[in-house]
Structure 1
Amino acid sequence: MLEAGEELGGKLRLATVAGHRVDVGAEAMLAVRPEGTAFVERLGAGADLVTPATTAARVYSRGALHPLPTATLMGVPTDPSGALGVLTADEVARAADERPWPGGGVEGDVTVGEYVGARLGRAVVDRLVEPLLGGVYAGHADRLSLRATMPVLWDRARAGTSLLEPVPPRVDADGSRRPPFAGLRGGLGRIPELAAEALRSRGALVRTRAVVRGLERSGEGWRLVVGSAADPVAVGADAVVLALPPAPASRLLRATAPAAASALGEVATASMAVVTLAVRRSGTPALPGSGFLVPPVEGRAVKGSTFSAAKWAWVDELSPDVLYLRASIGRAGDEAVLQRDDADLVTLAVAEVGDLLGTPLGPVVDHHVQRWGGALPQYAVGHVDRVTAVRADVARLPGLEVAGAAYDGVGVPAVLASAHRAAAGVTDHLTRTTPVPGESR
């Protein structure tokens, strides 16, 4: 396993803040999909899976924090009246007056903003959908694909049915309702550590600071060029999985899979920063729920805040004197704020979170700024077809697979699903091409 960076895990990462390790990347994963929790169990840490102590999030709208409607699908409310407060009475009435898409069903991919706005009104997009999309993709509703980011609503759009229809809750085999989110005691950043330990225990070589600069066919296998341009090292492989952001994957595929490289080159990315704050409990007001989201229409730099100590019991137990919370900054196309240095971002986060809460935070004991440059792929209109083109071109090349957040979803379970798909392809290839002992190849 060749990792270009100094640390394993991509957007799963831990850092020490006020003497304790906490997540500075993703801190929760969808539990309604099985891939994430099943992987943790496979790594032997199933007993450490936890559910949030609270999921009562809020949305900042028109000068105040309001409860996020409980029955929503990526911000689209199943009962518009539950959004009163975030929306005005007139905006609620417009959402309830759902209007048909011209012509009935949608034939081609459209943006989320275009479709939801036409049917439920622009306010639903601006004040409910935008903050959810900003939290997941760091993107904008008017640029993101309905088909790729909201497949349930895409199916309804194709059929011309109501967007307000409730989504049935997912249940386990015993009939119990599955919690929507899961975390890991000690942080999701433990997952890559556990995975690397499992790999090494099976004899795998895991290398960091191993930048792959070239990929080419070599007989029936592959040749990778690893290291600096001044000191390149050739590595042979029977099969390769490219688990990379779209830009470097495009560069490596340019010579062998030009169509895939071209399609990946069209996938833009967004940058963001996570500011983790450790503040004095004694001087901090009661934090409402699990955190809040801020729609871009409000003109704030902070797009959301997670009250980690309220959301996760294990974080709350870390210190009797300190509370942990996070602020997220940065959206696609709005990266100018990220040009500030770390100290300025911390000052900005402390000021804005306090202002949005309506009361200042307590004294900051420690802080950490994690920058995620180009980390979030933007699923623009046509993304699903783009991914299909990538995989069709790569499929021509035996022993080559692609995986990661650029394809079928940016969350932990979706990325794991793409990894399972790639692993199955590689396993099938190696099974068919590796000779049985005693036979010639």
Structure 2
Amino acid sequence: MDEISGRHVVIVGGGIAGLAAALHLNRADARLKITVLEGAVRIGGKLHASEVAGVEVDAGAEAMLARRPEGKDLARLAGLGDALVHPGTTRAAVLSRGSLRAMPAGQVMGVPSDLVALARSGILSPGGLARVSLDRVLPPTLVTTDVSVAAYIRARMGGEVVDRLIEPMLGGVYAGRSDRLSLDATMPSVAAAARTERSLLRAASVIAAKAPKDAGPVFTTLKHGMGSLPQAVAKASGADVRTGTTVRELIRTEDGWRLVVGPTREEEIIDADAVILAVPARPASRLLAREAPRAAAELARIEYSSMAVVTLAYPGAAFPQAPRGSGYLVPAVEGRPVKAATFATTKWPHLAEAGRDLVIVRCSLGRLGEEAVLQRDDAELVALAMNEMTEIMGARGLPADTRVTRWGGSLPQYDVGHLDRVARARAAVAAQPGLALCGAAYDGVGIPACAATGRTAAARILEHLRAEQEPKAGARTDPAAPEGRMKP
């Protein structure tokens, strides 16, 4: 029997992973009762947009990978297929030794594949460039277990390529440090090559050559920003979405799960047939401590970094020359508080059309270990971002509008051993019927990766609910009993 209508699934967490899980559950059976409990005052997690100088601009993630289908598929299921738009340019630069220099062609997550292109970029010094070339003649670097990104790439290509290409690239994605981040988890294609290829240059060139040449743009977004996705997904899911609702306890019962919700003096009990935890690793760990302590212990080890996004809307005349390219990354060795700048109105034509005569820039601040920068007040963060635009881009005068968005503890760190840690946590959770995990802490921090974990969690719960409806082993049907009643 495949009848699961009326069963109750509670999803703890209203970020894009939890909402994706709700949508996939609803598509499997629209008669399922689905409740989403979100502790914050709004859903969407790091997907949020608001007006800056009258233009709707993302305050969190502003794009998703277009070449991975799960994000676009989710947008289409939510009725936003026609709202998908592509960037006008993806040409990015790196600030190296005080000057903006184009990213070298053929790089793979910052790993160079072409010495000529690397030399032309001017990102590395002559000595740094010579050290990269030694990769071709050095003996193999044996990688039999997971290692840090920096440890492997430094052994093959030297420290300068790590500092000026790898660090800013990973800093932009994870706000983390390459000497801690897992090679297996953050650069799986490079990690695979490290176990078979002697030369990293050669391995990177093979990976780059395999990239589809006619696959279209690498990134995509929505006309009204990625912040418009959560509400659309929530609406399409048909779920009962409750914000400002904190789950304090998760308890296994004979028939499923019990959730204790709300403050101690006004607590509420919610019973469910199945539960999906779509919250960050630390709160998931707290909820699992009673029923799945091994999973809780593994998740508690996942650290998070914080960051802030300062959005500046300048009059177009403020820049001596209109910004070219999508933006630039800033290596930590440059000693600047801003780690990346995105020229939003250059990258996204629909923003340029909405904000005529404006140059909208998003500046990212904050890396793991640089929390002191984020302790400054909003006015100081705006001043740091403005100073960046003045010194690097020659901007004059004041912006017409500004916005500061803080994302405290928002980016999970995929440190060495991350994949094994996640596998152990999932194995412990799998021993609990009707329980699943999803979110950015597991298989990737991007929107497609999060959507994929939501779909996988929904599939696990559906499998559990359907299995519960099947006749129990060793039972037989009583012909004289009403249909469906079982007799031992």
TM range (shorter): over 0.9
2:230 corresponding residue in structure 1: 192
1:282 corresponding residue in structure 2: 317
The alpha-carbon distance between structure 1 residues 236 and 88, as it changes in their structure 2 partners (threshold 3 A), is same
1:378 corresponding residue in structure 2: 413
Name the aligned partner's letter for residue 342 of structure 1. D
2:65 corresponding residue in structure 1: 30
Matched, 1:214 2:249: yes
Name the aligned partner's letter for residue 295 of structure 2. A
Question: 1:38 deviation in Å?
Answer: 1.3
2:378 corresponding residue in structure 1: 342
The alpha-carbon distance between structure 1 residues 411 and 211, as it changes in their structure 2 partners (threshold 3 A), is same
Name the aligned partner's letter for residue 127 of structure 1. R
The alpha-carbon distance between structure 1 residues 426 and 282, as it changes in their structure 2 partners (threshold 3 A), is same
Contact 1:302 1:353 in 2 (8 A): no
Q: Whole-Å Cα distance in 2 between the matches of residues 103 and 76 of structure 1?
A: 17
Name the aligned partner's letter for residue 217 of structure 2. P
2:269 corresponding residue in structure 1: 234
Q: Whole-Å Cα distance in 2 between the matches of residues 41 and 101 of structure 1?
A: 49
Find the partner of 2:215 among 172, 177, 180. 177
Q: Which structure would you say has the larger Rg?
A: 2
SS in 1 for 2:302: coil
1:390 corresponding residue in structure 2: 425
2:181 corresponding residue in structure 1: 144
Question: 1:17 deviation in Å?
Answer: 1.3
The alpha-carbon distance between structure 1 residues 328 and 104, as it changes in their structure 2 partners (threshold 3 A), is closer
Q: Deviation per CA, 1:285-341: give whole Å up to 9, x if none.
A: 311211110000111100000000000011111122322110000001111110011
Matched, 1:154 2:191: yes
Contact 2:422 2:442 in 1 (8 A): yes
Q: Deviation per CA, 1:181-221: give whole Å up to 9, x if none.
A: 1111111111101111112xx3x201111111110102121
Q: Which moved more, 1:152-161 or 1:307-316?
A: 152-161
Name the aligned partner's letter for residue 326 of structure 2. S
SS in 1 for 2:265: coil
Matched, 1:416 2:425: no
Contact 1:106 1:159 in 2 (8 A): no
Contact 2:67 2:215 in 1 (8 A): no
The alpha-carbon distance between structure 1 residues 361 and 429, as it changes in their structure 2 partners (threshold 3 A), is farther
The alpha-carbon distance between structure 1 residues 197 and 101, as it changes in their structure 2 partners (threshold 3 A), is farther
Matched, 1:8 2:46: no
The alpha-carbon distance between structure 1 residues 44 and 161, as it changes in their structure 2 partners (threshold 3 A), is farther
Question: 1:418 deviation in Å?
Answer: 1.1
Q: Whole-Å Cα distance in 1 between the matches of residues 425 and 136 of structure 2?
A: 36
Name the aligned partner's letter for residue 366 of structure 1. D
Q: Whole-Å Cα distance in 2 between the matches of residues 81 and 99 of structure 1?
A: 14
Contact 1:52 1:312 in 2 (8 A): yes
Q: Which moved more, 1:175-184 or 1:1-10?
A: 175-184
Find the partner of 2:290 among 255, 260, 265. 255
Contact 1:185 1:314 in 2 (8 A): yes
The alpha-carbon distance between structure 1 residues 233 and 309, as it changes in their structure 2 partners (threshold 3 A), is same
Q: Whole-Å Cα distance in 2 between the matches of residues 17 and 314 of structure 1?
A: 14
2:6 corresponding residue in structure 1: none
The alpha-carbon distance between structure 1 residues 103 and 289, as it changes in their structure 2 partners (threshold 3 A), is closer
Q: Whole-Å Cα distance in 2 between the matches of residues 161 and 412 of structure 1?
A: 34
SS in 2 for 1:73: coil
Contact 1:52 1:181 in 2 (8 A): yes
Q: Deviation per CA, 1:231-253: give whole Å up to 9, x if none.
A: 11111111111011111011001
The count of residues paired between Structure 1 and Structure 2 equals: 434
Find the partner of 2:82 among 47, 71, 86. 47
2:170 corresponding residue in structure 1: 133
Structure 2 regions of 5+ residues with no counterpart?
Answer: 1-35, 472-481
SS in 1 for 2:101: strand
SS in 1 for 2:176: coil
2:475 corresponding residue in structure 1: none
**Which of the pair is proportionally richer in helix?**
2
> Sequence identity of aligned pairs in percent?
49
The alpha-carbon distance between structure 1 residues 39 and 169, as it changes in their structure 2 partners (threshold 3 A), is farther
Contact 2:115 2:133 in 1 (8 A): yes
Matched, 1:92 2:129: yes
Question: 1:151 deviation in Å?
Answer: 0.2
Q: Deviation per CA, 1:3-36: give whole Å up to 9, x if none.
A: 1111111111111211222100000111121111
Name the aligned partner's letter for residue 124 of structure 1. V
Name the aligned partner's letter for residue 133 of structure 2. A
1:21 corresponding residue in structure 2: 56
Q: Deviation per CA, 1:151-203: give whole Å up to 9, x if none.
A: 001101122343223223544xxx8323211111111111101111112xx3x
Name the aligned partner's letter for residue 79 of structure 1. D
Question: What stretches of structure 1 move > 4 A for 4+ residues in a row?
Answer: 99-104, 435-438
Name the aligned partner's letter for residue 419 of structure 1. G
Q: Whole-Å Cα distance in 2 between the matches of residues 229 and 281 of structure 1?
A: 53
SS in 2 for 1:422: helix
Find the partner of 1:205 among 217, 226, 240. 240
Q: Whole-Å Cα distance in 2 between the matches of residues 232 and 101 of structure 1?
A: 64
Q: Whole-Å Cα distance in 1 between the matches of residues 334 and 284 of structure 2?
A: 36
Q: Whole-Å Cα distance in 2 between the matches of residues 210 and 395 of structure 1?
A: 26
Name the aligned partner's letter for residue 109 of structure 1. D
2:484 corresponding residue in structure 1: 439
Find the partner of 1:307 among 335, 343, 351. 343
Structure 1 regions of 5+ residues with no counterpart?
Answer: none
Find the partner of 2:328 among 286, 289, 292. 292
Q: Whole-Å Cα distance in 1 between the matches of residues 210 and 403 of structure 2?
A: 37
Q: Whole-Å Cα distance in 2 between the matches of residues 101 and 90 of structure 1?
A: 16
